[in-house]
Chains A and B, each alone.
Chain A
């Protein structure tokens, strides 16, 4: 022990342990990429300022008239409830899927991610069809039990139910990624010191999961904040609903821009709150050696309840919606409707989403690296600001790119290139959050080892960080893929003329009550999305064997 203290090498390695290492600063390529991303993030805000300033006195009158405080509180209630419910569903689910001997774990892993791809207006419509005052459930109960009215689904309960069932995967995917990469030695130590499985989960696993849960919960919260489809059909008036009222009904994009700025402030509040949950704690292994995969915990007689839990979630979030959709298709075909041609929409959806996922991940990497490895006010601001596009209504982001694109980049305007750029602005945080969480689990000392062995800073990123970040890349990529598959306003407004995706086809058909056609496209959307998810998971299994 004394010799270790006296040895110069030992002291030196102690000095290099803190995060602010000898590295002079981020590589210029990293900074350059971050600057490009910063411009992308800023565009919608600049546009909203340009438009919002034109609103003037009328805007303040509107804010006053809206009883703004009241609808802000309604929005905040919904955001808090949905986020809480998502965490309650997603964390146990993630743990069961990654850490136990639950049967069919890989199947559950695919199925539980898919509700994310169901557009919220479709989800809400299906909930009304199933649970509405005269919905399927009521009709089923009317005969045997004589129940004439169910509890009111419209309003808060319906919005909460719909948005929770659609957005718990936001938390699930990052939590799964974190659990996959988490070093099990702490948990094993806790068990060996006599703590029960539950106590270990509460005192070790949960705190280690905090960054993943927080980043996923943030996405769920911001998604709820920016949702229009579910709250409008459920008649729960939120702030975003008021913004869409300006866009859709009053055709007043200037007042809408003013309200969007207020929404951005609201989002900033949520971002700030999430920042507070962050600590300086290290989430990577601190001693030498590599973590091995955790040993699955035998569920024993908990196996059936666990299966019932997973099955129940999948039943309500996926199987029931898909059954109603399937029934619409069957009913339409038997009534003489023709089966729509799904091919070109499917191809467009998959290709543009896949390309955009690569772009989003590539752009997320510098933001995540800077915020973890080079903590500063600027890198923190960039990371936080990357979430704003996700919190704004899609139509506002799309119009900002119409404004800049049609004026300054006519060559790119209404090409798939600008559309992919729009997806980047909208879905950057899905990538950033997942990569950031993943990077927290990687010890900077491995990077330092790579550097000391002669690799350049960028080579270290590609040969050390990226392979270790694989669970995060997969989680971020899956989230982004599913989000882009269902994206609507930007695709409609910025896509090239005649560009159809599955999401636009679902919308087009459903808006005119072509139920069979809409349902066929929606089913295709879910099934097609499941293919890459399945491929990823099968590949993971193949590699782990």
Chain B
């Protein structure tokens, strides 16, 4: 085609010249076509997988923590695992929206609350798998099972106080002497689970009095555990109510100079609660067998040793050693509370609201 035709004004040549001169149209075409192409490629990918050899996990636990052990499972079994990472609450909301259309086989959650929120979407876990974890660490109906344990502790600033100054149980912090010295993350799931346990152990009346007592001491409010531990390390607060394992991350990053340590309350009670991170299998899963294999693996000595060694958590099966930095479970005066009994999140939040801690 000659240049003259291209710019000419006659019939088909003009049409062609127009098309060539209209990147907008090309761009629109591209925009509409590209998602389709990507989608088709993705769909082909999905179909190409050997169904019997695949597993999809929704993980509310961070990749930094559980990525390596999931990879180990994949290597050991030859099962092709794909993992989606987000926060536990985001994953629970996503699962609830997906309903039966969910591509997930397993939900691996940071706390029992997230699992409880979609418990009706989970199937009952095979007995053999459930029985690997102690009875207190499962849901009442056997729809989810605890994988690793974490302890509630008091993190304290080593610059400001010594462990001898810390009361023997949570009630002691209601003393006005603690005014302005406490930090807590009241919107955090683990904190709220601790309050639920407190209601179990102390009853609603005393729990409310405790909340009011702490509130009267004007605690500093933090978004979650990490900034609370950071604040204790900086001496911004004297004590904070948190989970135990965050401290070890700070020690790994900042070295032994980090000016905060954990303290387990000597008289026990709700402040020394042991909680779990857990997992369940979706009812809509096409890969229930692989899912059960995965849960089995997480409760195997290899994986439990990983959690003890790498994530500073408490193993839930017998015969696995606790990390040497941690206080052994036998030395913690922890109350016996069944995880399945800590489902009343609504009731706890209602109480936190009525005391004015939540809006």
Contacts and interface: CB of A to CB of B under 8 A. Distances in A.
Interface of A: 29, 33, 65-67, 71, 125, 128-129, 132-135, 232-233, 235, 237, 242, 245, 247-251, 253, 328, 331-332, 335-337, 355, 358-359, 362-363, 365, 395, 399, 402-403, 406-407, 410-418, 420-421, 454-456, 458-459, 461-463, 466, 489, 492-493, 495-498, 500, 504, 508-517
B101 A512 contact: no
Given A29-B25, A512-B62, A402 B94 contact: yes
A466 B24 contact: yes
Contact of B9 (A232, A332, A454, A459): A454
B22 A462 contact: yes
A508 B223 contact: no
Given A125-B227, A406-B102, A362 B359 contact: no
B97 interface: yes
The interface centre, meaning the residue of B93, B234, B249 with most chain A CB atoms within 10 A of its CB, is B93
B53 interface: no
Nearest to B82: A497
B266 interface: no
Interface string B223-256: 1001101110011100000000010011011110
A411 B254 contact: no
B333 to A, nearest CB: 27
A513 B231 CA distance: 13
Given A247-B93, A331-B253, A132 B246 contact: no
Nearest to B189: A249
Contact of B31 (A133, A363, A412, A418): A363
Given A135-B234, A462-B23, A417 B42 contact: yes
B289 interface: no
A468 B137 CA distance: 66
The interface centre, meaning the residue of B83, B189, B192, B236 with most chain A CB atoms within 10 A of its CB, is B236
A500 B35 CA distance: 19
A245 B186 CA distance: 11
A406 B97 contact: yes
Contact of A335 (B31, B87, B254): B254
A235 B21 contact: no
A417 B254 contact: no
A251 B83 contact: no
A514 B223 contact: no
B187 A249 contact: yes
Contact of B353 (A65, A132, A493): A65
Given A454-B9, A466-B24, A245 B97 contact: no
B187 A459 contact: no
B56 A399 contact: no
24 contacts: A29-B28, A128-B227, A133-B236, A134-B236, A232-B223, A250-B346, A251-B117, A362-B31, A402-B94, A402-B97, A411-B42, A416-B38, A420-B38, A456-B22, A458-B25, A461-B24, A489-B86, A497-B57, A511-B62, A511-B87, A512-B226, A513-B229, A513-B253, A514-B64
A456 to B, nearest CB: 6
A513 B345 contact: no
Contacts of B349: 249-250
Contact of B101 (A66, A337, A359, A407): A407
B51 interface: no
B34 interface: yes
Contacts of A132: 231, 234, 236
A362 B227 contact: no
B359 A355 contact: no
A455 B22 CA distance: 10
Given A71-B359, A134-B236, A508-B64, A406 B98 contact: yes
Nearest to A407: B101
B64 A67 contact: no
Name the prevailing secondary structure of the A interface residues.
helix
A415 B35 CA distance: 9
B85 to A, nearest CB: 6
B97 A417 contact: no
A257 B353 CA distance: 20
A498 B82 contact: yes
Contacts of A125: 227
A462 B42 contact: no
Contacts of A134: 231, 234-236
The interface centre, meaning the residue of B25, B82, B253 with most chain A CB atoms within 10 A of its CB, is B253
A411 B39 contact: yes
A402 B98 contact: yes
A133 B183 CA distance: 13
A358 B28 CA distance: 10
A507 to B, nearest CB: 8
B64 A512 contact: yes
B329 interface: no
A306 to B, nearest CB: 37
Contact of A459 (B21, B35, B222, B234): B21
B253 A328 contact: yes
Nearest to A365: B24
Nearest to A36: B32
Contacts of B92: 251
A493 B86 contact: yes
Given A245-B358, A497-B83, 8 more contacts: A71-B359, A133-B234, A232-B223, A249-B192, A250-B346, A417-B34, A496-B42, A509-B64
A242 B28 contact: no
Interface string B100-115: 0111000000000110
Contacts of A66: 359
A516 B249 CA distance: 11
A233 B223 CA distance: 6
Nearest to A415: B42
B162 interface: no
Pick the 6 closest A-B CB pairs, nearest first: A417-B35, A497-B82, A513-B249, A415-B42, A492-B86, A134-B234
B229 to A, nearest CB: 7
Contacts of A420: 35, 38
Contacts of B34: 355, 359, 417
Interface string B196-221: 00000000000000000000000001
Interface in B35-86: 35-36, 38-40, 42-43, 56-57, 62-65, 82-86
A473 B274 CA distance: 56
A362 B27 contact: yes
B174 interface: no
Contacts of B236: 132-134
Interface in B10-26: 18, 21-25
Nearest to A121: B223
Given A65-B359, A512-B64, A462 B21 contact: yes
A489 B90 contact: yes
Given A128-B227, A508-B64, A509-B64, A251 B114 contact: yes
Contacts of A395: 90, 93
B89 interface: yes
A33 B28 contact: yes
B62 A509 contact: yes
A416 B42 CA distance: 8
A456 B254 CA distance: 66
A232 to B, nearest CB: 5
A332 B253 contact: yes
Nearest to B222: A235
Contacts of B359: 65-67, 71, 237, 242, 245
Contacts of A402: 94, 97-98
B63 A508 contact: yes
Given A331-B253, A414-B103, A416-B38, A517 B64 contact: yes
